[in-house]
Amino acid sequence: MQKLVEIASGVSNGSLSASAVVEQHLARIDVRESEIHAFNLVTADQARLDAAKVDADVKSGKKVGALAGVPIAVKDNMCTRGVETTCSSKILQGWKPPYDATVVTKLRAAGAIIIGKTNLDEFAMGSSTENSAFGPTKNPHDISRVPGGSSGGSAAAVAAGFAAASLGSDTGGSIRQPAALCGVVGVKPTYGVVSRYGLVAFASSLDQIGPFTCDVRDAATLLEVISGHDPLDSTSIPQPAPSLVSVLEHGVAGMRIGRVTDLPEGCEADVLERLESAFDALRSAGATIVDIKLPSIQYCLTAYYLIAPAEASSNLARYDGVRYGNRVDAADLNSMYAATREAGFGEEVKRRIMLGTYALSAGYYDAYYGKALKVRRLISDDFARAYQSVDTILTPTSPSVAFEFGSKTDNPLAMYLCDVFTIPTNLAGHPAMSVPFGTGAHSMPVGVQVLAPTLGEQAMFKVAAELERAS
């Protein structure tokens, strides 16, 4: 598989044809998409037109962007003007947004070719991509196993070679966990570094867009393109995109890497073994490993599953059959609301709406939602203390390798535990990324997670690049 940087360089200097690159990726999609189902929609015709335009620009001597001719897949919860955007939900089936998400606008401006919209857990609620209204996505390494979620389609598209890169969204680990399970790089940047304008909201204070790529350099390149201040997003940080590619060869000599001594239990032995190997590799490269504690990390899962559903119950109230989306006719307005939501939302989405509505209801707000916000503050304080003594922190990304389909669907708590190592970073708003680091049980990929403080992307990418070299 060609990497993003190689494609962009080749197309820019004329040694590669954007049209030929697109056809290669569409050919791979034709061969395996029917068994993997990474996409809800493959935009082949438009991709061919866009590729032809890039080739024409190169031939005429026009300057092309940093992603010229690169086929990129976009998670189907990011708005694409005139192209169906469903969030893998029946309630939005057929809806075509009248505008592009900011990240989509930036991709197009950089010369990227959007090759399709990827499958996800409905409204990004899940850890296995088994909750899509349009069927599950399968792991390209073993189609009997899940690709992770909620951005499972985006991770699988890169792992299968359907796209050179993809975009996903991460609310509690939805980029990093599928990246680990599919053996690709996945990045959740600092909250506010990448615009959320045009991202269909799940939990607005937690959601963040980030890249999936084959390697760390590609991830740095793509993140530089999609980052930067956006006046259309009130939570966007008012500063330029970070410089990341420039630090990848700096190494980790002199850096302090945190080892969390009070991690939650339940991590499989094969994953912990790879984590220890990662610590050894960083130590050999000149880093110092420092033991740290994060006492409140044990409460993260509980706090998250109050805060995220509470925000979801508010955000999803707009799907009422009146303004947009599908409608089920009924005798009166309230009956229409109920019938529309019953038909349009899947079981997991309904579960989280109910949890969130309960947590926000009179008499329970202070006992549940209010306390969860206080725990969120404790988590941020714990991280702040830890980062006084370390530059980055290393943990597992997922407690296990990819699991078999159906093995956790009857036990929501077991599914929620898949995100036990990724959720803390979302609550704190910090950056984190998953880097492939060997294999574990059943020869499936294992990912190691690199965490950094707010706007600590440069330190995070230095460590990620060193881990990649070691692996």
CATH number at residue 161: 3.90.1300.10
Q: Measure the CA–CA gap between 335 and 305, rounded to whole angstroms.
A: 29
Q: Measure the CA–CA gap between 42 and 115, rounded to whole angstroms.
A: 6
- Predicted confidence at residue 412, as pLDDT, reads 86
Domain count, the chain: 1
- Predicted confidence at residue 324, as pLDDT, reads 82
Q: Measure the CA–CA gap between 152 and 362, rounded to whole angstroms.
A: 36
Residue 68 resides in a domain = yes
Residues marked active site are found at 75, 150, 174
Name the pLDDT band for 2 (thresholds 50, 70, 90).
confident
Tokens of 23: 């056809």
Q: Measure the CA–CA gap between 54 and 63, rounded to whole angstroms.
A: 10
3-state DSSP assignment of residue 111: coil
Residue 412 resides in a domain = no
Question: What average pLDDT does range 44-56 have in this prediction?
Answer: 98
- Predicted confidence at residue 300, as pLDDT, reads 96
Half-sphere exposure of 449 (CA within 13 A, CB side): 32
Q: Measure the CA–CA gap between 451 and 258, rounded to whole angstroms.
A: 9
Is 352's pLDDT higher than 80?
yes
The backbone region for 341, taken as left when phi is positive above 0, alpha when psi lies in -120 to 50, beta otherwise, is: alpha
Q: Residue 459: which residues within 8 A CB-CB, separation 6 or more? A: 255, 391, 392, 452
Residue 458 resides in a domain = no
Residue 351 resides in a domain = no
Model confidence pLDDT, tens digit, residues 145-169: 999 999 999 999 999 999 999 999 9
Model confidence pLDDT, tens digit, residues 189-215: 999 999 999 999 999 999 999 999 999
Residue 23 resides in a domain = yes
Q: Residue 52: which residues within 8 A CB-CB, separation 6 or more? A: 18, 19
Model confidence pLDDT, tens digit, residues 259-309: 999 999 899 999 999 999 999 999 999 999 999 999 999 999 999 999 999
Is 428's pLDDT higher than 90?
yes
Mean pLDDT is lowest, of 133-142, 173-182, 412-421, for: 412-421
What rounded mean pLDDT belongs to the chain? 97
Question: What average pLDDT does range 62-72 have in this prediction?
Answer: 97
Q: Measure the CA–CA gap between 150 and 157, rounded to whole angstroms.
A: 13
Provide, for the chain, the percentages of residues in helix, strand and coil under a 3-state DSSP scheme, each rounded to the nearest 5.
45, 15, 40
Q: Residue 406: which residues within 8 A CB-CB, separation 6 or more? A: 130
- Predicted confidence at residue 410, as pLDDT, reads 87
Q: Which amino acid is at 300?
A: C
The backbone region for 289, taken as left when phi is positive above 0, alpha when psi lies in -120 to 50, beta otherwise, is: beta
What is the domain range of residue 204?
A: 4-246
Q: Measure the CA–CA gap between 154 and 157, rounded to whole angstroms.
A: 5
Residue 439 resides in a domain = no
Contact 406, 428 (CB under 8 A): no
3-state DSSP assignment of residue 156: helix
Q: Measure the CA–CA gap between 438 and 397, rounded to whole angstroms.
A: 13
Q: How many helices (H) and strands (E) does the chain have?
A: 15, 11
Question: What average pLDDT does range 421-437 have in this prediction?
Answer: 98
Q: Measure the CA–CA gap between 311 and 299, rounded to whole angstroms.
A: 19
Name the pLDDT band for 94 (thresholds 50, 70, 90).
very high
Contact 178, 155 (CB under 8 A): yes
pTM value is 0.97
Question: What average pLDDT does range 415-429 have in this prediction?
Answer: 96
Residue 270 resides in a domain = no
Q: How many residues does the chain have?
A: 471
Q: Measure the CA–CA gap between 142 and 172, rounded to whole angstroms.
A: 24
Name the pLDDT band for 325 (thresholds 50, 70, 90).
confident
- Predicted confidence at residue 354, as pLDDT, reads 95
**Number of C-beta neighbours around residue 228 at 10 A:** 18
Q: Measure the CA–CA gap between 443 and 133, rounded to whole angstroms.
A: 30
Contact 172, 150 (CB under 8 A): no
Is 1's pLDDT higher than 80?
no
Residue 331 resides in a domain = no
